[in-house]
Chain A
Amino acid sequence: EAQVTQNPRYLITVTGKKLTVTCSQNMNHEYMSWYRQDPGLGLRQIYYSMNVEVTDKGDVPEGYKVSRKEKRNFPLILESPSPNQTSLYFCASSRGREQAKNIQYFGAGTRLSVL
């Protein structure tokens, strides 16, 4: 089954404790992306990756890191989480060619609470 898998689904942590949210896709997609969703703001893009070793900032990259060492994986790293990073996070992937025509498929989401 084609899917984007994020782990964990729920995470409660404390300020300053480094954490990683994993994302994996099995569709051989070139493009992967991370979003955060906050009430009234829709989804905002944090980082995206056009292919292996190619990443770029989205609209709200501060406080986050990503890496793309393999095509299927795109982890999101919070090196020193703060309460304002409490949010619902989504990973998504799509084919890279003719990007505007390619549908993004989303993971189930990770609900993060930073105390």
Chain B
Amino acid sequence: AQKITQTQPGMFVQEKEAVTLDCTYDTSDPSYGLFWYKQPSSGEMIFLIYQGSYDQQNATEGRYSLNFQKARKSANLVISASQLGDSAMYFCAMREDNYGQNFVFGPGTRLSVLP
């Protein structure tokens, strides 16, 4: 069963607007971490933001915020004030504390920022 689902293969957003990239996950481990990574066309994987399952508040890092809805098992990435340099693939990932040590990625969403 797929543990991470990203239902948007591709997204477009106008420069300076906000965009939400969806991520839902599946786990029965009460302790887990959720991560978002950015992969620009150059290929490297860049860490963006982290949310722990016990964190009470949604994570924020600059223009990135994570809309964490634990009961719905969703961890959507919100990018505010999009920039042309935000055009990239975005991956949602999860690591479970207790049920194995696998780090599981979703299939990714390709974001294109339009001028």
Contact = CB atoms under 8 A, between A and B. Distances in A.
Given A43-B105, A50-B101, A101 B33 contact: yes
Contacts of B115: none
Contacts of A59: 102, 104
Contacts of B104: 45, 59
B102 A109 contact: no
Nearest to A43: B105
Interface of B is mostly: strand
B68 interface: no
Measured as residues with beta carbon below 8 angstroms from the partner, the interface class of chain B is 20 to 34
Interface string B31-68: 11101010000011101001011000000000000000
Interface string A1-41: 00000000000000000000000000000010101000011
Interface of A: 31, 33, 35, 40-45, 48, 50, 56, 58-59, 88, 90, 92, 98-106, 108-109
